[in-house]
Structure 1
Amino acid sequence: MMAKMQETSFEVVGEMKNNSVHEECLYLELSNHTGDKILPLHTSIVLFLMSYCDSTSIKVFLVPNEDIAGGPLWKKEALANIPISILSQQELPPVVRSCRLPALVEKDGKFCRAGLAVVLRHIIQRTCDADCNRKDVSELLGFKKTCLKACAEVSLGDCRGEMLKALPMLARWYQHVQEVSGVKKAAASCGIHLLSLPAPLSSAAVLIPSSCDPENEKAETTDLHFRGGPRPTMNKLEEHGISAKFTSHPCPSWSLDWRNLPVAVNPIEGKLSFERALRKQQQLDNIISIVAKLAKPGDTIVDFCSGGGHVGIVLAHILPLCQVILVENKEESLVRAKDRRDNLSLNNIWFVQANLDYFTGPFEIGVALHACGVATDMVIDRCIKALAAFVISPCCYGFIQNTIKPTFPRSQKFKSVLSYKEHMVLCRFADQTAVQLPPERRIIGKKCMGLVDLDRACSAEECGYTVYVTSMEPDSCSPKNNLIVGSSSGHCLGVTA
């Protein structure tokens, strides 16, 4: 399922053509394997879809993952309807250099869509917008038009012919797809060789490999030391000298002068009610007061899980000498943020529609307001990898669970005391902080919330960070009012952790 490129003449682009800034530009990876130029699977899939859609409005660049200067020029047989050029990694637009490929950039060079699912969906939507009669294309998104939307893009292996034989339903789908009108033509035009498979095995005859470790699963279900409910778990931690602790907020009374800010900066512009907008202002005051102390001119600040850009747009407005990047996987939210940016004529803000893993660029500060579940842990890990400071408000503790990357408890300190199931008890009760709950339950919920975030803070400290957990002021601004603040150079935090 990978297309091999053939030697022939090719246009190598030294500088992007002036007219290319007026088009959407698509950047695809070109790999080098034992002297051959190979199109990776994700590149082949994108080119296949473009050929199937007869897409001609997007300029395509292949980006070698190694320097080919001075080497032979390469090109596969040209697709009749897709002009392709080669661009070196050094010549990529800045926002694309911060993302994994495939990536597609709008004409202003500041709105980037990255990741296979996001790029495929956009190509389909562009085709349908241009020709409403292309039902063969619109049906690719399913009857609810939600296919490829907010896709996790997680793969456990290489889905070649051998794997297809072991997955009978997928093998039948693969054979059915080859019978769809236009598929074989599109595949041939971009050098994709479709596999001819024998009759698939029945489901009953196939032993599906599992990524789960049965020994670990058995150990969890037979944990003789596990005791249910939050109090026994909290008591167990206290017996080992671990209790929820909150540092005083470094700027408890700091607030922006919202009345004198442009309307498009205000959260109420994001279609919120007045009451919700007021609480959002208070949440933003808490985060921005800390970020403003950390930020220096020239810093890049990334607003992860940005939604409609409530945090990022304010930061870009009040810190004009910093570059702000909004990373969000929901297109509608980023389009809304982009409209607000346009109203404010902000030039220091980029937009990246992608899963968090697809943003790979350097930055100095990472922020996230109400990052759900393990998204908080992914943001912290991404910040630590970049040696960046972070200011994060977690949310949806009940959604926390072991995944391929984050596992819980996070820190060695907590792992030495709690099992996974005991930690999940804390997470479940940490969600019980809503104002309509009895005060006693909310107090326990707040303590559980503090313990879960203390575990996260300890994990970052084990990576050399200085970290503290604090509460937003006032508490009423959100039932999820914790803030985790960390820096690899602790003196910049302005408080003693």
Structure 2
Amino acid sequence: MKKGSIHDECLYLELSHCSEDRIFPLHTSIVFFLMSYCDTTPLKVFLVPNKDAADCPLWQKRVPANIPVALLSEQELPPVVRICRLPAVVERDGNFCRAGLAVVLRHIIQRTYDIDSSRKDVLELLGFKKTCLKACAEVSLGDRQEQILKALPLLCRWYQRVQEVPGVKKTIVRCDIQLLNLPAPVPSSGMLFPISVENKDKKMETMDPYFRGGPRPTMTKLEENGISARFIPHPCSSSQDWSNLPVAANPIEGMLSPERALRKQQQLDNIISIVTKLAKPGDTIVDFCSGGGHLGIVLAHTLSSCQVILVENKEESLERAKDRCDSLGLQNIWFLQANLDYFTGSFEIGVALHACGVATDMVIDHCIMAQAAFVVCPCCYGFMQNTVKYTFPRSQRFKSVLSYKEHMVLCRFADQTAVQLPAERRLIGKNCMGLVDLDRALEAEDHGYTVYVTSMEPDSCSPKNNLIVGTREQLNAST
């Protein structure tokens, strides 16, 4: 996506909890601090008051003097901004939105540097290798509570170091910010994470080609309680005529090898055939963890009467998708660079192709909250683990039989499906995949869904070839 002029983007910030002591929510104050420090005002800024702050005049005294700001009601927000939590940046009259504090802060820093490449000081705010704020997600290992505690010294050191960046303290005074008194950081040697016994066990298990002490006891325990993996035949066998689709709608446009492009086409065929059966004119379809948009772009092109939204945290991938859609002239697609939690819009169908680890569970939960149908292909089962928001097993049925550790055994061995592995090993991996996804399906059924697990065809299109499909009863009645 090409960079435009310095005023071609608009920034929307929340105004709430207005009182003498607290004028802005914390995320708005942080954005104001960064913009005041950058002192280039590369964006047009709007404050969006909620009901509690609609008549509050105090904000005018607290906005940094070097930042022009205008008020805007929630009803006046661009449609693409209404589907996400603030803060958010959107191209003026555009369909590309960046939402969430981390994403917005990184974008402001990048835009400042684009305008003036001498401002190396703003890049210093991002820390080592400019990675700060780049991968803040529920699925990251950092969300494990014990690791958060261990990582606190790193945050303390960053917090102290960033205060020494030239101009930061002056901006702190200008924005009337009070610094926290954090404990002194421990030496770096204290930050080394010990190798856990669980990780050692995992390594020993995966090295054993015959799975001695591996998933069999857990699988047997489930079978003794009447639980086994269940797959139904794929309900739709239709495929796209890829030769007649525009090049920009073809996965080969994403710089894939011919072999990978063919497998990607087969994966897309499996999902699109199901979504096409579910979708009605006017529906909104959300492609979660969309990457470069292989799935969402074909859906937008094929289902022109539906609105498609790509949600992806990686900027480079979403920009490639935007370029492809611009060349196709698609008018029914929006782009949201954000973590899943920042998407708040309503929709009828949620899809995800190879959503890694806990991301699959996040997608399904988003669909359940929206009472939307879902077609999800999981991936990276070995990355699954308890987080602040998600615990495993998911369903009451599995919880009554398995412990967390036993469920993690299934997750680890569900990743043992690569084509180069022995056939017996792949079969056990496939069964473990089926059991993990059955747990997910049962959890959705607890929320009133009709759910089935099937395999993408042909099996060779991906080692991770499960599809979890869920619909509400009222959706079934209307189709």
Same topology, TM > 0.5: yes
Q: Deviations over 1:173-205 (max 9, x none)?
A: 54554443211222233332335x49x46859x
Q: Deviations over 1:130-173 (max 9, x none)?
A: 111111112223352322212228999xxxxxxx9xx7775565
* Secondary structure, counterpart of 2:45 in structure 1: strand
**Superposed counterparts of 1:290-439, under 5 Å:** 290-439=274-423
1:239 aligns with 2:221: no
Contact 2:7/2:43, CA 8 A, preserved across alignment: no
Return the letter of the residue paired with 2:424.
E
Distance between the aligned counterparts of 1:183 and 1:56, measured in 2?
A: 17
Distance between the aligned counterparts of 2:81 and 2:420, measured in 1?
A: 46
Distance between the aligned counterparts of 1:463 and 1:416, measured in 2?
A: 18
Distance between the aligned counterparts of 1:175 and 1:37, measured in 2?
A: 24
1:121 aligns with 2:106: yes
Aligned with residue 451 of structure 1, among 435, 454, 458: 435
Q: Deviations over 1:376-428 (max 9, x none)?
A: 00100110000000000000011111111111111000111111111111111
1:280 aligns with 2:264: yes
* Secondary structure, counterpart of 1:308 in structure 2: coil
Q: 1:170 to 1:139 in 2, by over 3 A?
A: closer
Return the letter of the residue paired with 1:148.
L
Structure 1 or 2: more helix by fraction:
2
Return the letter of the residue paired with 1:42.
H
Q: Kindly state the Cα deviation for residue 54 of structure 1 after the two structures are TM-superposed.
A: 1.1
Q: 1:229 to 1:359 in 2, by over 3 A?
A: same
Contact 1:369/1:394, CA 8 A, preserved across alignment: yes
**Superposed counterparts of 1:36-51, under 5 Å:** 38-51=23-36
Q: Kindly state the Cα deviation for residue 72 of structure 1 after the two structures are TM-superposed.
A: 4.8
Contact 1:309/1:326, CA 8 A, preserved across alignment: yes
Return the letter of the residue paired with 1:128.
Y
Q: 1:343 to 1:417 in 2, by over 3 A?
A: same
State the identity %: 77
Q: 1:237 to 1:395 in 2, by over 3 A?
A: same
Q: Kindly state the Cα deviation for residue 108 of structure 1 after the two structures are TM-superposed.
A: 3.5
Q: What is the match of residue 149 of structure 1?
A: 134
Contact 1:21/1:107, CA 8 A, preserved across alignment: no
Q: What is the match of residue 140 of structure 1?
A: 125
Contact 1:32/1:64, CA 8 A, preserved across alignment: no
Q: What is the match of residue 440 of structure 1?
A: 424
* Secondary structure, counterpart of 1:297 in structure 2: coil
Contact 1:37/1:74, CA 8 A, preserved across alignment: no
* Secondary structure, counterpart of 1:370 in structure 2: strand
Distance between the aligned counterparts of 2:474 and 2:382, measured in 1?
A: 30
Q: Deviations over 1:39-82 (max 9, x none)?
A: 11111111111111113220111111226556657412453331
Return the letter of the residue paired with 2:49.
P
Distance between the aligned counterparts of 2:475 and 2:313, measured in 1?
A: 34
**Superposed counterparts of 1:76-87, under 5 Å:** 76-87=61-72
Q: Tell which deviates more after alignment, 301-310 or 423-432.
A: 423-432
Q: Kindly state the Cα deviation for residue 107 of structure 1 after the two structures are TM-superposed.
A: 2.3
* Secondary structure, counterpart of 1:76 in structure 2: helix
Return the letter of the residue paired with 1:408.
F
Contact 1:228/1:425, CA 8 A, preserved across alignment: no
Q: 1:417 to 1:46 in 2, by over 3 A?
A: same
Q: Kindly state the Cα deviation for residue 467 of structure 1 after the two structures are TM-superposed.
A: 0.2
Distance between the aligned counterparts of 2:20 and 2:33, measured in 1?
A: 24
- CA-based RMSD of the aligned residues comes to 2.7
Q: Kindly state the Cα deviation for residue 111 of structure 1 after the two structures are TM-superposed.
A: 0.6
Q: 1:77 to 1:449 in 2, by over 3 A?
A: closer
Return the letter of the residue paired with 2:336.
V
* Secondary structure, counterpart of 1:428 in structure 2: helix
Return the letter of the residue paired with 2:42.
S
* Uncovered stretches (5+) of structure 1, i.e. residues with no partner: 1-19, 157-163, 205-226
Contact 1:487/1:493, CA 8 A, preserved across alignment: no
Aligned with residue 480 of structure 1, among 451, 460, 464: 464
Q: What is the match of residue 214 of structure 2?
A: 229
* Secondary structure, counterpart of 1:285 in structure 2: helix
Q: 1:478 to 1:68 in 2, by over 3 A?
A: same
